[in-house]
């Protein structure tokens, strides 16, 4: 199968306090459609730089980046903005939702920059919220939602433009264990049932084990790239957990 992401011999250097920092050194990676890949590494290993590069937030100093067969390594800022808008969905550790803005308005955000018609914007945003299990909470504001629900809104926002790639940067970093498993369950479902390609950046091995493949980075290089042998199944784990007392909604 033709990879949807192919980076070849990527280098990234930047000046920091007078010194040259080599954040990425000759990194090559191919990701095929429908993969669920975890990028691991300690802080300073270059995993964030790699994610920013994959997410077209940043440009590599050297090397090629083919996204959907198109070389996006040297695109202008505006062109990268358009790629992020149409091909990439971001999920962050801190949710990064707009405060005092309803869930549906947060989800609509990418579509506003796509220029989709108003009715289609609303329809697709509702659909996306339903997909992450938040139907009926369209008009809740972030401060009326739990952390897990906020992250689901962020996932709905990332999915609303039907991206080629879902990039998740420490998506469970701010969540408790149970909610983390719930979010990983959502990722596994999206990957399994909808064939969405997911790149998950994390420093926690037990979170990485929900993916199908693990890439470990150290000092700006990929030091290990292997399939996950004993993959965790979030659905089964949730079923095994003792049932919780229904928690009062923050709303």
Partner 1 sequence: MRLIPIIKIALRALARNKARSILTALGIIIGVSSVIAMVSLGQGAQQQVQAQIASMGTNMLIVTSGSQRVGGMRGGVGTSTTLIPEDIAAIEREAPAVAATSPGVNAAVPLVFGNQNWTTRAEGVSEAYPAIRNWTIASGAFFTAADVRTAARVVVIGKTVADQVFAGTDPVGQTLRVRNLPFRVIGVLAPKGQSQFGQDQDDTLMMPYTTAMKKLLSITHITSAYISATSADATFEAQSQVEALLRQRHNIRPGMEDDFSIRNLTDIADTAAQTTAVMTLLLGSIAGVSLIVGGIGIMNIMLVSVTERTREIGIRMAVGARAAHVRMQFLIESIVLGVAGGVAGIVAGIGLSLLLSRVFGWPQAVSLMSVLVAVAFSIAVGAFFGYYPARKAASLDPIEALRYE
Q: Which residues bind partner 1 (CB under 8 A)?
A: 52, 55, 57-58, 77-78, 81-82, 84-86, 90, 92, 96-101, 105, 109-110, 112-115, 157, 161
Q: Which segments of the chain does DSSP mark as H helices, in order?
A: 47-54, 77-87, 103-114, 118-131, 147-159, 177-194, 205-208, 234-240
C-beta of 86 vs 232, nearer to partner 1: 86
Give the whole-angstrom CA distance, residue 221 versus residue 213.
17
Q: Alpha carbon of 225 to those of 3, 146, 170, 237: distances in Å?
A: 16, 35, 19, 26
User: Shortest gap between Cβ of 249 and partner 1 (angstroms)?
Assistant: 23
Residue pair 152/132 in contact by the 8 Å Cβ criterion: yes
User: Shortest gap between Cβ of 96 and partner 1 (angstroms)?
Assistant: 5
DSSP state of 10: E
Give the whole-angstrom CA distance, residue 172 versus residue 9.
30
DSSP state of 139: T
C-beta of 112 vs 250, nearer to partner 1: 112
Using a 10 angstrom Cβ sphere, with 0-12 exposed, 13-18 middle and 19 or more buried, the burial of residue 168 is: buried
C-beta of 114 vs 146, nearer to partner 1: 114
User: Shortest gap between Cβ of 57 and partner 1 (angstroms)?
Assistant: 5
C-beta of 52 vs 172, nearer to partner 1: 52
User: Shortest gap between Cβ of 117 and partner 1 (angstroms)?
Assistant: 10
User: Shortest gap between Cβ of 125 and partner 1 (angstroms)?
Assistant: 13
C-beta of 3 vs 147, nearer to partner 1: 147
């Amino acid at each position: 199968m033709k990879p949807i992401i192919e980076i070849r011999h990527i280098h990234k250097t930047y000046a920091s306090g007078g010194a040259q920092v080599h954040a990425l050194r000759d990194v090559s990676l191919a990701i095929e459609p429908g993969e669920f890949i975890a990028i691991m590494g300690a802080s300073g290993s270059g995993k964030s730089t790699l994610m920013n590069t994959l997410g077209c937030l940043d440009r590599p100093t050297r090397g090629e980046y083919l996204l959907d067969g198109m070389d996006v390594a040297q695109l202008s800022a505006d062109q990268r903005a358009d790629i992020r808008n149409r091909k990439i969905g971001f999920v962050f550790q801190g949710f990064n939702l707009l405060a005092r803005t309803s869930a549906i308005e947060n989800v609509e955000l990418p579509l506003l920059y796509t220029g989709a018609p108003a009715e289609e914007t609303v329809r697709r945003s509702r659909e996306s919220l339903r997909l992450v299990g938040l139907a009926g909470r369209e008009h809740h504001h972030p401060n009326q939602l739990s952390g897990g629900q906020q992250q689901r809104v962020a996932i709905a926002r990332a999915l609303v433009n039907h991206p080629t790639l879902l990039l998740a940067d420490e998506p469970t970093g701010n969540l408790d264990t149970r909610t983390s498993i719930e979010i990983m369950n959502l990722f596994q479902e999206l990957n399994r049932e909808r064939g969405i390609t997911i790149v998950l950046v994390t420093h926690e091995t037990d979170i990485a084990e929900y993916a199908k493949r693990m890439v470990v980075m150290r000092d700006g290089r990929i030091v290990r790239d292997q399939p996950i042998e004993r993959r965790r199944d979030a659905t089964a784990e949730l079923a095994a957990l003792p049932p919780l007392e229904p928690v009062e909604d923050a709303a």
